[in-house]
Amino acid sequence: MPQAYIVDAVRTAGGKKGGALKDWHPADMAAQVLNALVDRTGIDPAAIDDVVMGCVGQAGEQAFHVGRNAVLASRLPQSVPAVTIDRQCGSSQQSIHFAAQAVMSGTQDMVIAAGVESMTRVPMGLPVTLPMQHGIGTGPFPKSIQDRFGVPMFSQFIGAEMIAEKYQFRKEELDAFALESHRRAARATGEGAFADEIVALPVRGEDGEERLHDRDEGIRHDATLEGIASVKLLKEGGKISAANASQICDGASGVLVVSEAALKAHGLTPLARIHNLTVTAGDPVIMLEEPIPATRRALDRAGLRIEDIDLYEVNEAFAPVPLAWLREIGADPERLNVNGGAIALGHPLGASGAKLMATLTHALKRRGKRWGLQTMCEGGGIANVTIVESLA
């Protein structure tokens, strides 16, 4: 079977809600990632067969096909097509899967898998709430689904509390995990670990001066356990707070996926080889637990054990998610999210999948490691798993 290779993977530095990236139109922000992949690899942009763009909030400035609009806002020729997809938080990880599948099928040779989300300019949930504000419809879950699962709605916040309760995590454990995320992210930033993956964007500060946004804005370099513990719980008697959950974030990301023929034709050097693509689905009520069975299936299909994997990125949607994954998979916490995760760095929804891949592939290269695994919990009880082999 033909192989799919990652040549480069990049992301913007995360912007807090209403923060450094607030003035960037999401199509323009995504365009900068596309431009960076072309500039960094030296490829002929006209040779790109397709752009697959993940985005969750497809309303407002992210409506009317943000993937195509990103191409039109970039320096890519208008002859490059695009598609916008939504697999909730795993949207751009699925973009990578679709790009790899296109290459492995032999139908395309060079595809950019990307993602974008401006959670400042298109607030989370807007595609649901906007029609209802105008008296149109009753929401995404019809009575048939409510009756089948015995719930009036599906909520990631409820799912996170359910996982915390199922695995009997104490709030202190969740807060300690959050603190470690900030510490790792701060250390990685200080050591320059993100330098090779970040596309710096010009922004204007509150003082009116223009500067380059090249550092993740959400990292609390002075975070303390006491400070995290003091943050108000999302529900009375619960264990989840904004401090042990992922941060609302603006950002864009992209991964260039190519065939072996394209490597030779364009003189490209691969960063990694895509070894396994897995997606599974399970309980839509607890919702966020699916990375566990998905990882088991991916490892089995790849003929690998968790002990073989050098680094893993498990999206920190909420602290109980990676903690439950660690326990059930029997994984080494020292290999998990070694540069911090979404609790510190932010979770720009549709951009997070390719964002994590940028961090994973560059971390493998930087540390001289071979195998990497990435997984993401997704709305509806779905999870993607991608296993890559570093070639750098």
Active-site residue set: 89, 347, 377
Backbone angles phi, psi at 211, to 5 degrees: -145, 175
Q: Which residues pair with 371 in a beta bridge?
A: 389
Cβ neighbours of residue 33 closer than 8 Å, sequence gap 6 or more: 10, 11, 12, 114, 116, 199, 252, 253, 254
- Host H or E run for residue 127: helix 126-133
Dihedral through CA 257, CA 263, CA 267, CA 272, nearest 10?
A: 60
CA-CA distance, 352 to 324, in Å (whole number)?
20
Q: What DSSP string runs through 248-262?
A: PEEEEEEEEEEEHHH
Closest by Cα among 362, 360, 325 to 341: 360
- Host H or E run for residue 374: strand 371-378
Cβ neighbours of residue 237 closer than 8 Å, sequence gap 6 or more: none
Per residue, the 3-state secondary structure of 143-187, as one string, reads: HHHHHHHCCCCCCHHHHHHHHHHHCCCCHHHHHHHHHHHHHHHHH
